[in-house]
Amino acid sequence: DIQMTQSPSTLSASVGDRVTITCRASQSISSWLAWYQQKPGKAPKLLIYKASSLESGVPSRFSGSESGTEFTLTISSLQPDDFATYYCQQYSSYSGTFGQGTKVDIK
Amino acid sequence: EVQLVESGGGLVQPGGSLRLSCAASGFTFSSYWMSWVRQTPGKGLEWVANIKQDGSEKYYVDSVKGRFTISRDNAKNSLYLQMNSLRVEDTAVYFCARGGVRDQLLCGFWGLGTRVTVSS
Task: Please report the pLDDT score of residue A10 as a whole number.
Answer: 96
Cα–Cα dist A37/A83, whole Å: 9
Chain A nearest-CA residue for B49: A95
Q: Do B47 and A97 touch (CB under 8 A)?
A: yes
CB A104 within 8 A of CB A13: yes
Chain B residues with beta carbon closer than 8 angstroms to that of A95: 46-47, 61-62
Kindly tell me if the per-residue pLDDT of A7 is higher than 90.
yes
Three-class secondary structure of residue B82 per DSSP: strand
Partner B contacted by A49 (CB < 8 A):
yes
- Mean pLDDT computed over A34-53: 96
Cα–Cα dist A35/A43, whole Å: 13
Reported as a single tens digit per residue, the pLDDT across B25-73 is 999 999 999 999 999 987 889 999 999 999 999 999 999 999 999 999 9
- Averaged pLDDT of chain B: 96
Reported as a single tens digit per residue, the pLDDT across B89-119 is 999 999 999 998 889 999 999 999 999 999 9
CB B94 within 8 A of CB B116: yes
Substitution target from A38, A98, A102, A103 for chain B, most B beta carbons within 10 A: A98
Chain B residues with beta carbon closer than 8 angstroms to that of A94: 47, 59, 61, 105
Three-class secondary structure of residue A7 per DSSP: strand
Which residues does A57 contact at the CB level (< 8 Å), separation at least 6? none
CA A58 to mean position of chain CA atoms: 13
- Mean pLDDT computed over A10-27: 97
Partner A contacted by B44 (CB < 8 A):
yes
